[in-house]
């Protein structure tokens, strides 16, 4: 993951650590990392803070270069990085979104309890393993035509729902209603489209999963009820993204941006931050392609949720609707979006400005009353879905006014890696990890023991610490906590 970082870092508030703008001559603003004191050692163990400082050097940056408590080293931007750029004068960077465009989370609730599921868990996990296409390069039963794929890239989750892979009401519970405006299928390369034709409705590999969980703790009864959640209830988390299509979009546009850096004479501290002015042809084209990949991801998670519903319906002998398998919410973790935010204007005054907000391994966390929160939750605030890692808890949080004021309405997205995949495999064998998890009562289905070892809980930060740090900083509040019962990995 890299050598220990030796740069300046000073505490400037509760769970707030500053990298001063004086650290590098090219820094246009300071960096700010949110973390508890006990988390700082892990954060300094790689070069992620250097990446925070590098992002602060980019043209048109507004506010601070930010990092959430689950920060770790990534491509260009750190994972856990958040930065906003002026929509007229700033830049857009594929490194600020990542290769797995709109890797994100979906949560399904149910009317089932632990007593209902426990006797059927083994059969249910077997059914999911047979139903959900998973693994490296996995292909699914959905065969898209070229025109179908073009529709998916523009319409996202709505396409899937209309073709029988979801319910019409699902769309109203998704970030951006499952389709980011501005997508243009013609800006997605032929190679990316080729990779996307057979992967809709597939889980993939790496840290992607389907996990059956039980709600163990409720921290806010009113908000839990607003989200349709209660103690003892069975829920299902789905974690996946835009698959090979999104990866190819990133690859394609990194090459485009390398040329754009030369064309516009942009000075970069790291080539991985290749970017283009937001309003340039290259910037517009990347956004249009990135939005298409994001919409593919929302359609993908819609189809994955459909396979989950089918498996539950078979095992319980009742329609999914009768089991109450409704979407709670769906959030993006890797995305760039145009949003209006208050920024500093004339001395003592603030103004509304259109910004291009990059969130890479971070979750949007808008508060109650925000017009961009879907109508179903506008009075409560936006749900934030934070997964653990197989043997650890997951959370539903809610966005806050403080996050809106400080982080462009952003908070953490998960536990965050502390060991590389190769280091994790050196410390635990997949077969042994499987036995450990099953000894804890967690049913595991995985296509690869090596892949299982790469995602071992020991490879990640403590998700409880991550969530607590975000809450202490005021970026989000806990609503419920879930314990894993069964996990399907790619």
How would DSSP label each residue in 334-358? EEEEEEEEEEE-STT-EEEEEEEEE
The region of weakest confidence among 20-24, 176-180, 416-420, 433-437 is 416-420
Tell me the backbone φ, ψ of residue 282, rounded to 5 degrees. -65, -40
Q: Residues 234, 190: contact at Cβ < 8 Å?
A: no
Q: Which pLDDT belongs to residue 338?
A: 98
Count other Cβ atoms within 10 Å, centred on residue 405: 14
**Residue range 284-313, pLDDT digits in tens:** 999 999 999 999 999 999 999 999 999 999
pLDDT, one tens digit per residue, over 53-100 is: 999 999 999 999 999 999 999 999 999 999 999 999 999 999 999 999
Tell me if 41 sits within 8 A of 50, measured CB to CB. no
Lowest mean pLDDT among 91-95, 147-151, 441-445: 441-445
* Residue 14: burial class (beta carbons within 10 Å; 0-12, 13-18, 19+): exposed
The alpha-helical segments, DSSP class H, found in 339-485 are: 401-406, 421-427, 430-439, 449-454, 463-472
Is the pLDDT at 334 greater than 80? The verdict is: yes
Residue 363's nearest CA partner among 182, 101, 105, 31 is: 105
Is residue 34 within 8 A of residue 16, CB to CB? The reply is yes
Q: 94, 274 in Cβ contact below 8 A?
A: yes
> What pLDDT digit, counting tens, does each position of 160-211 carry?
999 999 999 999 999 999 999 999 999 999 999 999 999 999 999 988 999 9
Model confidence pLDDT, tens digit, residues 226-275:
999 999 999 999 999 999 999 999 999 999 999 999 999 999 999 999 99
Instruction: Return d(Cα 168, Cα 4) in angstroms, integer.
Output: 49
- Mean pLDDT computed over 125-129: 97
The reported pLDDT for the residue numbered 422 is 86
Asked if pLDDT for residue 475 goes beyond 70, the answer is yes
Q: What pLDDT score does 2 carry? A: 55
Topology of domain 10-418+460-489 in CATH is: tRNA-splicing ligase RtcB (3.90.1860)
Spatial contact of 125 and 212, defined as CB atoms under 8 Å apart = yes
Helices 243-264, 281-316: crossing angle, 10 deg rounding: 170
Question: How many residues make up the chain in this entry?
Answer: 490
Rounded to whole angstroms, the Cα distance separating 388 from 355 reads: 31
The two beta strands, 234-240 and 394-399, are unpaired
For position 335, what pLDDT does the model report? 98
pTM: 0.96
Q: Is 413 a catalytic residue?
A: yes
Instruction: Name the catalytic one among 72, 306, 413, 447.
Output: 413
To 10 degrees, the CA torsion angle through 225, 102, 184, 356? 90
């Amino acid at each position: 993951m890299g050598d220990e970082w030796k740069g300046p870092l000073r505490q400037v508030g509760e769970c707030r650590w500053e990298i001063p703008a004086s650290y590098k001559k090219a820094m246009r603003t300071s960096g700010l990392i949110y973390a508890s004191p006990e988390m700082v050692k892990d954060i300094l163990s790689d070069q992620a803070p250097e990446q925070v400082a590098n992002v602060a050097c980019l043209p048109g940056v507004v506010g601070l270069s930010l990092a959430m408590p689950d920060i770790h080293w990534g491509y260009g931007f750190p994972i856990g990085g958040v930065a906003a750029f002026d929509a007229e004068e700033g830049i857009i960077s594929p490194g600020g979104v990542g290769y797995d465009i709109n890797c994100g989370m979906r949560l399904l609730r149910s009317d089932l309890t632990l007593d209902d599921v426990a006797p059927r868990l083994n059969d249910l996990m077997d059914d999911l393993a047979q139903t959900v296409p998973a693994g490296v390069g996995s292909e699914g039963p959905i065969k898209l035509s070229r025109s179908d794929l073009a529709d998916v890239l523009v319409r996202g989750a709505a396409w899937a729902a209309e073709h029988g892979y979801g319910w019409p009401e699902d769309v109203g519970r998704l970030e951006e209603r499952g389709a980011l405006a501005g997508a243009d299928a013609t800006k997605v390369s032929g190679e990316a489209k080729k990779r996307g034709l057979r992967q809709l409705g597939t889980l993939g590999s790496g840290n992607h999963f389907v996990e059956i969980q039980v709600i163990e703790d409720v921290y806010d009864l009113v908000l839990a009820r607003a989200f349709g959640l209660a103690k003892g209830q069975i829920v299902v988390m789905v974690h996946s993204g835009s698959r090979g299509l999104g990866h190819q979009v990133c690859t394609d546009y990194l090459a485009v941006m390398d040329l754009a850096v030369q064309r516009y004479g942009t000075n970069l501290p790291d080539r991985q931050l290749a970017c283009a002015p937001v309003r340039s042809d290259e910037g517009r084209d990347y956004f249009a392609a990135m939005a298409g990949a994001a919409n593919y991801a929302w359609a993908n998670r819609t189809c994955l949720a459909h396979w989950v519903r089918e498996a539950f319906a078979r095992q319980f002998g009742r329609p999914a609707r009768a089991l109450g398998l409704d979407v709670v919410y769906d959030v993006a973790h890797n995305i760039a979006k145009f949003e209006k935010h208050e920024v500093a204007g004339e001395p003592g005054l603030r103004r509304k400005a259109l910004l291009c907000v990059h969130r890479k391994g971070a979750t949007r966390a808008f508060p109650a009353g925000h017009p961009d929160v879907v109508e179903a939750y506008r009075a409560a605030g936006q749900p934030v879905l934070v997964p653990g890692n197989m043997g650890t808890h997951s959370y539903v949080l809610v966005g806050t006014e403080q996050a809106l004021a400080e982080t462009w309405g952003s908070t953490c997205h998960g536990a965050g890696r502390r060991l590389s995949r190769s280091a994790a495999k050196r410390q635990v064998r997949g077969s042994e990890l499987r036995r450990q998890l099953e000894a804890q009562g967690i049913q595991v289905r995985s296509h690869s023991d090596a892949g299982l070892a790469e995602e071992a809980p020991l490879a990640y930060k403590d998700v409880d610490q991550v969530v607590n740090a975000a809450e202490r900083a005021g970026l989000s509040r806990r609503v419920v906590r879930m314990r894993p019962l069964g996990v399907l990995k790619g």
